[in-house]
């Protein structure tokens, strides 16, 4: 396997990690706010706060890892994406900044400020939409090269059916992933009332999620038939994803083995996400940039991979400790610690 | 304001974000050390006041961490958004330390999360203290790694750049470039100094308001002792930095000192203004001092600005930043050493109002010194973004909307500042020390 492939696999894995942890986080913020304005906060907010408070910072790091890593392995992405994405990128930064800081203000500072809660709940839905622009433009057709200028074609972006399906998919999957996780967490906490509410959310959002996934498939066929062809070649991964989806929804419906059901949710997104990524190769930005153009030099690639492995030796035990203390410690989850 | 130029706006926006981030980043590096010291002393001496100190500092700290995290994320992304051409070239050389900075931050984030939620959860109090060690290490390591990136931009080594293409890279040589030792030492030491002074200012404020609880006195004692140690260290390292500049970046030192002609026995210039013919007026000259600062000998030759092409000179305004940084540094050293001296010898009252006032204003002043130091370091290497290889103008984006983004971010930082201050004030005024001591049954 060459360094380019190792590099993109590492980065894709971090993006997948971000997809899962950030979705839980973003969705939870929304549900937390929604339950406050509908007068059900006392039922589910405790469950949400107990999980989120110790991990919110960690979530953010996954994203930083990805965008620092991609410039490290593929410095030319900075040129193309950096120039084109000034506005959407800056908007995403501002939303992330508002969300992150108001989350802390709300949870560690003024408890119960509904306005702060609104800010971090609402931005949680806008961030996935703004970040998904990157995936959209990677399909090509939205970037104009003029001399040394890289321009983003906003009219094309906003009028594209494909770009809207991606936005919708991003938002509904956030709510779906988050609700599934919180259902599991509430179940572990033996908080039956919260469990009932969250199970309702999970089932409610499962339908639009699968619908949006199918919609994206067809929109991509219109937008980038070459990529679509390659995705069809990997159809088994997407079929597997659908089976995991059915398994997860079935278990949540029955209200049993909820840990396994969340594993199914993770596998559902893993198979679809890696299937999408693999079929997108070798392009980073279709058709201008492949993983073989402007790849970092060999010395740096080796150094990055060594740093990455050394870092994992540090991170995995630490993350394990974090999960042991806050996720799999029944006494903590149930609020007895 | 002026004609739209993406380079100017990119510079202002980057300066704004970094200038804002550095406040939170500095205390983010330093405060964990003070929390750790307070908790450790509290456990060792079985003194609940110190443990409460750690607890209350941690509570306020987490609010500032949030802003540090989000503005750090902002600058990380802005590097690619505002300087895509620079990142395309330099990405080949600086990605290792940037990647490792993220690891260090990850490490810190995990343990800070655990630390904040495990007060009173362990039977052995030391276990809770141990959680802080990775936080302190992670905070300082991220300061270390990111400073090596900045050092590389000042002294690019370990690479060859030909026609804008980077070749022959040695990632470790790039990281450990000649600027790294002094820069990293100065950044870390001044971060500990600043954090100590910021926390000391809070204690001094309480004492000035007439609260004479021993809790505040203990807080002042701990923070001022730490401040004295790092004030002396920072001054020493500052001297090494001067010698480094004389050797590797003489134009920066010359600009800081308005040293136009190469000469021996060069004087140090304090304050003053430059008139239109570049004559220095109203300045205080200390004979030989620049030669001593630059090379450790009064007769040494110091290179002047005349040796450099006109279009490669840094702006002469950096002189004021340099003087402000050094001046405040001296003030902080004087105040903290005086406190420790008075406290040790017990000859006078270390809680006299004059000293308390000096400590109190030392808090904001130390933050200003950090800003001044960074302004000096960054403007002092203009017109270069990669000294000797790439000018700032070549590295910037060509995008047409940087001005709009600048206004958006000004708005964002204003809102964050206002809310941060409000939240911190409410957090501490709604739960004063005296009440918390009572609630915890310590009185």
Give the model's confidence band at A46: pLDDT under 50 very low, under 70 low, under 90 confident, else very high: confident
Q: What does the pLDDT read at residue B361?
A: 93
Number of residues that make up chain B: 443
Asked if A78's CB is within 8 angstroms of B87's CB, the reply is yes
The string of pLDDT tens digits covering residues B312-333 is 888 888 989 999 999 999 999 9
Give the model's confidence band at B443: pLDDT under 50 very low, under 70 low, under 90 confident, else very high: low
On whether the CB atoms of residues B294 and B246 are closer than 8 A, the answer is yes
Which residue is associated with the tokens 């609020």?
Answer: A335
The string of pLDDT tens digits covering residues B139-196 is 999 999 999 999 998 888 888 877 767 777 888 888 898 989 999 999 999 999 999 9
Counting Cα atoms < 13 Å in the Cβ hemisphere of B415 gives: 17
The string of pLDDT tens digits covering residues B110-121 is 888 888 888 877
H or E stretch at B168:
none
> Which DSSP category does B83 fall into?
-
The string of pLDDT tens digits covering residues A61-91 is 888 888 888 888 888 888 888 888 888 888 8
Q: What's the rounded Cα separation, in Å, for the pair B272 and B279?
A: 10
Residues 92-151 of A with CB under 8 A from B: 92-94, 96-98, 100-105, 108-110, 116, 148-150
What number of other Cβ atoms are within 10 A of residue A9's Cβ? 15
Give the model's confidence band at A112: pLDDT under 50 very low, under 70 low, under 90 confident, else very high: low
Q: Which of A80, A87, A307 sits opposite B96 (nearest CB)?
A: A307
C-alpha closest to that of B219 among B42, B64, B422: B42
Which CATH architecture fits A1-334? Up-down Bundle (1.20)
The string of pLDDT tens digits covering residues A121-178 is 888 888 888 888 888 888 777 777 777 777 777 777 787 888 888 888 888 889 889 8
Q: Which of B70, B71, B171 sits opposite A303 (nearest CB)?
A: B171
Q: Give yes or no for A321 touching B (CB within 8 A).
A: yes
| B437 CB-contact burial (10 Å; exposed 0-12 / middle 13-18 / buried 19+) | middle
Three-state secondary structure of A66-126: HHHHHHHHCCHHHHHHHHHCHHHHHHHHHHHHHHHHHHHHHHHHCCCCHHHHHHHHHHHHH
What number of other Cβ atoms are within 10 A of residue A158's Cβ? 10
**CA A120, A125, A131, A137: dihedral to nearest 10 degrees?**
-160
Query: Would you say the pTM of this structure is higher than 0.90?
Result: no
What number of other Cβ atoms are within 10 A of residue B235's Cβ? 16
This model of the complex carries an ipTM of 0.83
Asked if B70's CB is within 8 angstroms of A96's CB, the reply is yes
Q: What's the rounded Cα separation, in Å, for the pair B28 and B22?
A: 9
Task: Tell me how close the Cα of B423 comes to any Cα of chain A, in angstroms.
Answer: 6
Task: Tell me how close the Cα of A61 comes to any Cα of chain B, in angstroms.
Answer: 6
Q: What's the rounded Cα separation, in Å, for the pair A319 and B375?
A: 38
| Helix, coil or strand: residue B284 | strand
Taking CB atoms and an 8 Å cut-off, how many pairs form between chains A and B? Answer: 223
């Amino acid at each position: 396997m060459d360094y380019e492939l190792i590099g993109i696999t590492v980065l894709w894995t971090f993006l997948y990690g971000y997809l899962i942890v950030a979705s839980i986080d973003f969705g939870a913020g929304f549900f937390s706010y929604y339950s406050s304005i509908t007068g059900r906060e006392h039922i589910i907010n405790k469950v949400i706060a107990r999980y989120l408070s110790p991990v919110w910072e960690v979530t953010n790091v996954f994203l930083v890892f990805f965008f620092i890593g991609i410039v490290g392995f593929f410095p030319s992405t900075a040129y193309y994406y950096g120039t084109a994405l000034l506005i959407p990128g800056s908007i995403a930064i501002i939303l992330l900044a508002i969300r992150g800081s108001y989350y802390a203000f709300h949870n560690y500072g003024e408890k119960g400020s509904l306005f702060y809660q609104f800010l971090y709940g609402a931005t949680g839905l806008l961030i996935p939409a703004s970040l998904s622009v990157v995936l959209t433009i990677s399909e090509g057709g939205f970037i104009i090269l003029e001399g040394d200028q890289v321009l983003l074609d906003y009219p094309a972006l906003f009028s594209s059916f494909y770009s809207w399906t991606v936005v919708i998919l991003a938002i509904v999957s956030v709510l779906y992933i988050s609700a599934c996780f919180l259902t599991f967490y509430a179940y572990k906490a033996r908080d039956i009332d919260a469990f009932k509410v969250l199970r309702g959310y999970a089932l409610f959002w499962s339908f639009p999620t699968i619908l949006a996934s199918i919609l994206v498939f067809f929109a991509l066929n219109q937008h980038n038939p070459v990529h679509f062809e390659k995705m069809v070649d990997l159809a088994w991964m997407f079929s597997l994803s659908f089976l995991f989806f059915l398994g997860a929804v079935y278990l949540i419906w029955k209200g049993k083995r909820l840990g396994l059901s969340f594993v199914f949710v993770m596998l559902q997104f893993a198979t679809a996400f890696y299937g999408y990524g693999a079929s997108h190769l070798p392009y980073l930005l279709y058709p201008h940039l492949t993983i073989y153009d402007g790849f970092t030099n060999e010395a740096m690639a080796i150094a990055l991979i060594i740093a990455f492995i050394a870092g994992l030796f540090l991170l995995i035990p630490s993350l394990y400790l974090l999960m042991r203390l806050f996720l799999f410690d029944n006494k903590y989850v149930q609020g007895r610690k | 304001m002026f004609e739209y130029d993406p380079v100017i706006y990119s510079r202002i926006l980057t300066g704004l974000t970094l200038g804002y981030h550095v406040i939170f980043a500095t205390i983010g590096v330093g405060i964990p050390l003070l929390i750790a010291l307070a908790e450790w002393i509290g456990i060792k001496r079985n003194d609940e006041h110190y443990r409460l100190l750690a607890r209350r500092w941690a509570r306020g700290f987490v609010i500032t961490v949030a802003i540090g995290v989000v503005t750090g994320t902002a600058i990380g992304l802005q590097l690619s958004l505002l300087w895509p051409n620079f990142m395309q070239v330099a990405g080949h050389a600086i990605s290792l330390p940037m990647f490792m900075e993220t690891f260090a931050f990850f490490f810190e984030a995990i343990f800070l999360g655990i630390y904040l939620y495990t007060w009173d959860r362990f039977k052995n109090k030391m276990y809770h203290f141990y959680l802080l060690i990775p936080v302190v290490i992670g905070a300082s390591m991220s300061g270390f790694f990111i400073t090596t990136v900045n050092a590389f931009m000042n002294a690019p080594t370990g690479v060859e750049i030909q026609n804008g293409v980077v070749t022959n890279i040695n990632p470790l040589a790039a990281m450990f470039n000649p600027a790294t030792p002094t820069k990293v030492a100065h950044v870390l030491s001044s971060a500990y100094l600043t954090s100590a002074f910021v926390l000391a200012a809070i204690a001094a404020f309480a004492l000035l308001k007439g609260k004479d609880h021993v809790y505040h006195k203990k807080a002042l004692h701990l923070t001022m002792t730490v401040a004295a140690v790092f004030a002396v260290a920072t001054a020493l390292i500052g001297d090494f930095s001067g010698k480094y500049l004389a050797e590797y970046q003489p134009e920066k030192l010359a600009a800081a000192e308005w040293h136009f002609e190469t000469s021996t026995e060069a004087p140090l210039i304090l304050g003053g203004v430059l008139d239109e013919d570049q004559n220095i007026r109203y300045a205080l000259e200390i004979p030989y001092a620049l030669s001593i600062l630059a090379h450790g000998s009064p007769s040494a030759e110091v290179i002047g600005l005349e040796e450099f092409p006109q279009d490669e000179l840094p702006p002469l305004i950096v002189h004021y930043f340099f003087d402000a940084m050094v001046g405040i540094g001296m003030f902080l050293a004087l105040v903290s050493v005086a406190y420790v001296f008075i406290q040790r010898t017990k000859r006078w009252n270390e809680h006299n109002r004059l000293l308390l006032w000096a400590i109190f204003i030392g808090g904001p002043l130390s933050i200003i010194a950090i800003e001044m130091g960074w302004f000096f370091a960054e403007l002092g290497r203009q017109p270069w973004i990669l000294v000797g290889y790439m000018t700032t103008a070549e590295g910037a984006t060509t995008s047409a909307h940087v001005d709009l983004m600048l206004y958006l971010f000004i708005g964002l930082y204003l809102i964050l500042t206002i809310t941060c201050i409000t939240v911190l004030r409410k957090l501490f005024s709604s739960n004063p020390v005296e009440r918390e001591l009572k609630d915890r049954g310590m009185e």
